[in-house]
Amino acid sequence: MAIEDRYKGIVEAARDVVARRGYHQASIREIARAASLSLAGLYHYVGGKDELLFLVLDRALDTLLGALDTALARARTPETKLLALIQTHLDFGFRHAADLKIINRDWELLEEPRRAEIAAKRGEYLQRGLALLRELDPRGRSGDELLSATNLLLGMLNGIATRPFLRSSDDARPLAGEVGALFLYGFLEPVEAHHDA
Amino acid sequence: MAIEDRYKGIVEAARDVVARRGYHQASIREIARAASLSLAGLYHYVGGKDELLFLVLDRALDTLLGALDTALARARTPETKLLALIQTHLDFGFRHAADLKIINRDWELLEEPRRAEIAAKRGEYLQRGLALLRELDPRGRSGDELLSATNLLLGMLNGIATRPFLRSSDDARPLAGEVGALFLYGFLEPVEAHHDA
DNA sequence: CCTCCCACCGAACGATCGTTCGGTTGCGCG
DNA sequence: CGCGCAACCGAACGATCGTTCGGTGGGAGG
C-alpha cells in the first residue's frame, strides 16, 4: 500500500513540474526534488524520463475517459449526452488543469512505442465525440465532415478549459450549458427557449 | 538588399526547426545548419536564441494581422467579416502551418520584455474577433460572454488549422463556409438556404 | 544474531546546450 | 595599393542535462 502512495506522489510531482515548465524543460532533478527523493532514488522507481511522461499521460487519460463514460451512461438523449461530454471536459480542465495541459501539449514528445499507446487512448476519446455527433446529426454528414466537427468541438473546449478564465469547478455546469447551446444552435440564436433551472 | 535576404533565410530556418522540434529542443546549431551558416556565424546576425524566437513570432503575427485587416477591409456586413476572419485564419494555418504552430505553442517561452510585445500583438488579434462578435451579437451579451465566445471561435479554428486534415490552401474557402455556418447557426441547422456558388 | 535485500543516496560520466573569443578572409573605399 | 571593417568561422567554456555506478543503512526472515 505504501509503495503505491510513493508512485502516486512521483507521478503527481512529475505532472506538476512538466505542466509548469514543459516536458523538455522539466528536469528529472526538479521532479525528484518535488517528490522528496534524490535523483538516483527516483530512478529506483521509474526507468527514465520518457516513462515518467507516459505515467502522467496514462493516468490522466484514464481519469478523463472514466469520467466521460460515467457521465455518458447517466444521459439518455443525444443532446444530454453532448452536454455531459462538454461538462465533463470542462470540469476536467478546471479540476486537473495540469493534466489537460500535458495531454494537449506534451503527448507528442513521447517516444515509441509508448506514444502509440497514448495516441490510442486519445483516439478513443475522439471516437466518443464522433459517435455522439453522428447520433446528433440531422442531415447526413460524411465521416470527414463529422470528424471536422468533432475537432471543432474539442478545439472549442480546450480553448476555454486551458485558459484561466473561470476558477471554481462549479462553474463548469452553467458554462457547459452556454457552450452546448452555442455549438448546437449557433452564436446568432436569440436565446429565448430555456426551460430548466 | 542581400543582407535582408540573409535575415529572411535565418528566420525561416529558425521557424522550420522550431516548429518541427519545439523551441527548447531546437538547438541553435541545427538552426545554423538549416540557414547554411556556422554556429558562430549565426551569432553575427542575431543576439541569441530568444531573439530568434521573437523574430519568427513577430514576422508571423505581422503577416497574420496584415492578411486579416486586408480581408476585413473588403467585407461589408458583419457576417461576411466573420467569414473573412475564418477564411484568413484557416488559410494562414494551411499555408504557414509552422508559423501558426509556433504562435500557439511556443510564444509563452519568450523572455520578457519581448514576450510582452508578442502578447500585445496576439491581443490585437483577439480584439479583432471580439469586436466582430460584438457587432454580430443579436442579444446583449456581456463582455465576458463575448470574450468566451471569441476564444471558443479561435479554439475551433486552431483545432482544425493545426491538424493535417486538408492540404491545399484552396480548401480554405469552402471549409471556412462550413465553419462559419456551424458557428453562426449551430450543428443542428439543417443546411438548406445556401445562396452562393 | 546474522544475513540479505529493498529502498535509497552521493558522485560521477558523457553528451549537448547557449554563448563567447580570437582569429581569418575579402571586398569597398580612400 | 593598403587600410579597415563586415562577414564569417573553429574551438572552446561552463552549465546542465539524462543516466549509471557503487555503495549504505535498516528492517524482515531464518
Give every CB contact of residue A100 below 8 A, 6+ residues apart in sequence: A60, A92, A93, A158, A161, A162
- Does residue B150 contact residue B133 with C-beta atoms inside 8 Å? yes
- Asked if the structure places residue B61 within a domain, the reply is yes
* Residue-level pLDDT, tens digit, chain B, 197 residues: 577 788 999 999 999 999 999 999 999 999 999 999 999 999 999 999 999 999 999 999 999 999 999 999 999 999 999 999 999 999 999 999 999 999 999 999 999 999 999 999 999 999 999 999 999 999 999 998 899 999 999 999 998 887 766 555 567 888 899 999 999 999 998 765 444 43
- Asked if the structure places residue A130 within a domain, the reply is yes
- Name the domain count of chain A: 1
- Asked if the structure places residue B20 within a domain, the reply is no
pLDDT bin (cut points 50, 70, 90) of residue A5 is confident
Record the cell numbers describing residue A97, joined without a space: 488543469
pLDDT at A41 (0 to 100) = 96
Q: Please say whether the dihedral angle defined by the alpha carbons of residues A132, A133, A137 and A143, taken in this order, is positive or negative.
A: negative
Protein residue minimizing CA–C1' distance to C16: B27
Chain D nucleotides near the protein (CB, 7 A): 7-12, 16-22
- Asked if the structure places residue A169 within a domain, the reply is yes
- Does residue B79 contact residue B58 with C-beta atoms inside 8 Å? no
Query: Has residue A197 got a pLDDT over 70?
Result: no
Domain range for residue A77? 48-185
Record the cell numbers describing residue B73, joined without a space: 477591409
Residue A173: give its domain's CATH number.
1.10.357.10
- Asked if the structure places residue B33 within a domain, the reply is no
Nearest-by-Cβ selection for B155 from A138, A145, A156:
A156
pLDDT at B173 (0 to 100) = 86
pLDDT digits (tens, 9 = 90+) for A88-119: 999 999 999 999 999 999 999 999 999 999 99
- Asked if the structure places residue B25 within a domain, the reply is no
- Asked if the structure places residue B16 within a domain, the reply is no
Does the beta-carbon distance from B182 to A149 stay under 8 Å?
Answer: yes
Chain A residues with CB inside 8 Å of B153's CB?
Answer: 156
- Does residue A134 contact residue A110 with C-beta atoms inside 8 Å? no
Does the beta-carbon distance from B179 to A152 stay under 8 Å?
Answer: yes
pLDDT digits (tens, 9 = 90+) for A124-169: 999 999 999 999 999 999 998 899 999 999 999 998 887 765 555 5
Strand C closer than 7 A to residue A45 Cβ: yes
- Asked if the structure places residue B17 within a domain, the reply is no
Q: Which of A110, A66, A74, A114 is closest to A92 using CA atoms?
A: A66
Strand C closer than 7 A to residue B118 Cβ: no
Chain B residues with CB inside 8 Å of A158's CB?
Answer: 155, 159
pTM of the model: 0.89
Strand D closer than 7 A to residue A50 Cβ: yes
Record the cell numbers describing residue B141, joined without a space: 451579451
Q: What is the DSSP code (8-state) at residue B110? A: P
Protein CA at B11 to nucleotide C1' at C26, angstroms: 26
Chain C nucleotides near the protein (CB, 7 A): 7-12, 16-22
Q: Which of A61, A63, A67 is closest to A84 using CA atoms?
A: A67
Chain A residues with CB inside 8 Å of B186's CB?
Answer: 182-186, 189
Q: How many residues does chain A have?
A: 197
Q: Which residue of B has its CA nearest to A148?
A: B160
